[in-house]
Amino acid sequence: MFIFFSFTTGLSLGCFLLYLVKRSCSNRLKKLREENQQLAREKTIAVEFMHNLAEAIGEGVDRKVLYQRILHTAIIGTGAMSACIYEKLPNGRLKGVALEGLFPPQRAIRGNIEEENIPRARFIEKVLSSEVLEVGEGIVGEVAQTGKPTFIRNALDDPRVVKHSDASLAIHSMVVSPLVHNDHILGVLAVANPSNGQSFSEIDFSMINSLGEQAALAIKNSDAMNLRMEKTRMDADLRLAHDVQDLFLTHIFPLSEGIEVDAKYIPSSQVGGDFYDFYKLSPHKFFVCIAEVSGKGVPASLLMALCQTHLKHLVHESHSPSEVLSLLNKELFSRIRPDMFITLFLATFDTSTNQLSYARAGHEPALLFRKNGDVEDILELRGNGIALGIVEPELFSNLVEDKSVNFCEGDILCLYTDGVTELSSEEKEEFGIERLKQSLTRYGGLDPQSLNAKLVDELNLFSPPKADRDDLTLLTIKRLG
């Protein structure tokens, strides 16, 4: 009997121990399965998040949209009831710029929500958008100051957490992570209150930290992508403006007996403010001009096009150069912005009389190269006048004047913009009008095309081409026999 009892007891104890071992293994296996499921869930969320961010960056979305995608991922990944992103402002303070759910403000609310007569969520959003935190203020400010994430398992017992009288704004658990890129804090990501009513877990804490790191990288990449896309759009606009501007410039000059003409135009960027023009008014009478609009880029090119359009009509009405400039100033004065103006040199010449008449509206003086036998001379064609668009039409007309000189066989008229004479060397020395005269004397025996090519070579030798160079324009006319 004793033997039977002992056997039965031993068997029962063995079965019980076997049950305990089996249960322990089952629990351990269940825990492993849950951990694997959690890791799989985190992996899926991370992959989807990275896919969404890559898609958002590729689309060139603005920060607001990118922030909302980050918040949505944070809530899906942790089961949080609400989340908010605080952006670090240039002055170092923190402002809530995006939220999802009823995220509790980080300061005590002033005013009564019932008196606002707006939905609760809209009221909270309004409070957060006006809430600017100091670095070091509260949990969010502390994370921004230290650059270290914070996990508050039980927020009700944490004195750092604001206690709102509204029960719907009570914070039970919270995870706050900095958005850091290259040791530079861009802002703070915060999630509050798991939907299951419990506290966040260490896994949630780890996920938000990882999300914060990836989000900061995505924000910087998105900014860079948006800048590149904006530059691409601007480049496209500039190319279009350049093509339009190119239509206004003469590239093939009319064949005319007794003269040769050539122009070289090198804009500082894709669009510049210089322009020139040449018209054949009759078999022996010609019009030529060169001008410069203050500034660069699209505004300068548009003003240039406007000026040139009016000029085309005026020069065919048999006005003198000074009358053309006076009428042009009258047309443009009310349309030019106060910070812009146009300098212009305008001349007409008649090959049958060898007379050249000109007027100057604040532009660089033209140079007239003459050679009579062994005697060479260069005249500076100056004259009174002020830039277009600066003074009232009546005053402008009183200032501008006509001048006349002979323009005979072998003479060369050289028109240019200040991009030539004000070109600076690496030693900050300007090319200047005297160097231009010397170059003109040196190459005065060449045809206009060869002459301009030599002048451009000398300018490039004096100051190698670079991005900040001003527009450069040369227009050369040679009288033939």
* pLDDT per residue as tens digits for the range 72-110: 888 988 889 999 999 999 999 999 888 888 888 888 877
Tell me: do 214 and 249 sit in the same domain.
Answer: no
Q: Read off the tokens for 383.
A: 């004259």
Tell me: do 437 and 475 sit in the same domain.
Answer: yes
Poorest-confidence range of 35-49, 226-240, 287-301, 343-357?
35-49
CATH number for 356: 3.60.40.10
Tell me: do 53 and 105 sit in the same domain.
Answer: yes
pLDDT tier, 469 (very low <50, low <70, confident <90, very high otherwise): confident
Q: Is 301 a residue whose pLDDT tops 60?
A: yes
Q: What is the pLDDT of residues 33-84, one digit of tens each?
A: 665 565 555 555 554 555 555 454 445 567 788 888 889 888 988 889 999 9
Poorest-confidence range of 112-121, 153-162, 279-288, 472-481?
112-121
Q: Higher confidence at residue 401 or residue 112?
A: 401
Tell me: do 433 and 381 sit in the same domain.
Answer: yes
Residue 263 included in any domain: yes
Domain span at 459: 244-479
Q: For residue 412, which of 445, 386, 453 has the smallest C-alpha distance?
A: 445
Mean pLDDT estimate for the chain: 83
Tell me: do 389 and 469 sit in the same domain.
Answer: yes
Question: What's the total number of domains in the chain?
Answer: 2
User: 96: part of which helix (H) or strand (E)?
Assistant: strand 94-100
Phi, psi of 403 (to 5 degrees): -130, 155
Residue 26 included in any domain: no
- For residue 436, the model assigns a pLDDT of 96
Residue 174 included in any domain: yes
Q: Which amino acid is at 226?
A: N
Q: Is 458 a residue whose pLDDT tops 70?
A: yes
Angle subtended at Cα 305 by Cα 399 and Cα 457, rounded to the nearest 5 degrees:
85
Tell me: do 174 and 263 sit in the same domain.
Answer: no
Domain boundary among 163, 196, 226: 226
Poorest-confidence range of 34-43, 168-177, 225-234, 369-378?
34-43
Q: For residue 272, which of 418, 156, 167 has the smallest C-alpha distance?
A: 418
Residue 6 included in any domain: no
Tell me: do 305 and 202 sit in the same domain.
Answer: no
Q: Is 272 a residue whose pLDDT tops 70?
A: no
Residue 149 included in any domain: yes
Tell me: do 215 and 311 sit in the same domain.
Answer: no
- For residue 57, the model assigns a pLDDT of 47
**Distance in Å from the first CA to the final CA of the chain:** 147
Poorest-confidence range of 107-111, 289-293, 357-361, 375-379?
107-111
- For residue 309, the model assigns a pLDDT of 84
Domain boundary among 226, 256, 284: 226
185-223 burial code (b ≥16 CB/10 A, e <16): bbbbbbbbbbeeeebbbeebbebbbbbbbbbbbbbbbbe
- For residue 55, the model assigns a pLDDT of 52
Average the pLDDT over 204-229 and give the result.
81
pTM of the model: 0.57
- For residue 60, the model assigns a pLDDT of 53
Poorest-confidence range of 120-134, 162-176, 238-252, 419-433?
238-252
Which residue do the tokens 């966040």 mark? 200
CA distances from 1 to 7, 10, 12 (A): 10, 14, 16
Poorest-confidence range of 237-246, 292-301, 304-313?
237-246
- For residue 386, the model assigns a pLDDT of 93
Q: For residue 459, which of 413, 429, 420 has the smallest C-alpha distance?
A: 420
Angle subtended at Cα 173 by Cα 171 and Cα 178, rounded to the nearest 5 degrees:
100
pLDDT tier, 10 (very low <50, low <70, confident <90, very high otherwise): low
Tell me: do 270 and 148 sit in the same domain.
Answer: no
Q: Is 25 a residue whose pLDDT tops 80?
A: no
- For residue 361, the model assigns a pLDDT of 95
* Integer-rounded Cα radius of gyration of the chain: 39
Tell me: do 158 and 291 sit in the same domain.
Answer: no
Q: For residue 288, which of 344, 247, 246, 348 has the smallest C-alpha distance?
A: 348
pLDDT tier, 305 (very low <50, low <70, confident <90, very high otherwise): confident
Tell me: do 55 and 92 sit in the same domain.
Answer: yes
- For residue 58, the model assigns a pLDDT of 46
Tell me: do 455 and 314 sit in the same domain.
Answer: yes
CATH number for 219: 3.30.450.40
Domain boundary among 194, 226, 258: 226
**SS3 (DSSP) at 480:** coil
- DSSP 8-state code for residue 249: S
**SS3 (DSSP) at 465:** coil
Residue 12 included in any domain: no
- For residue 299, the model assigns a pLDDT of 74
- For residue 52, the model assigns a pLDDT of 56
Distance CA 57, CA 226 (A): 8
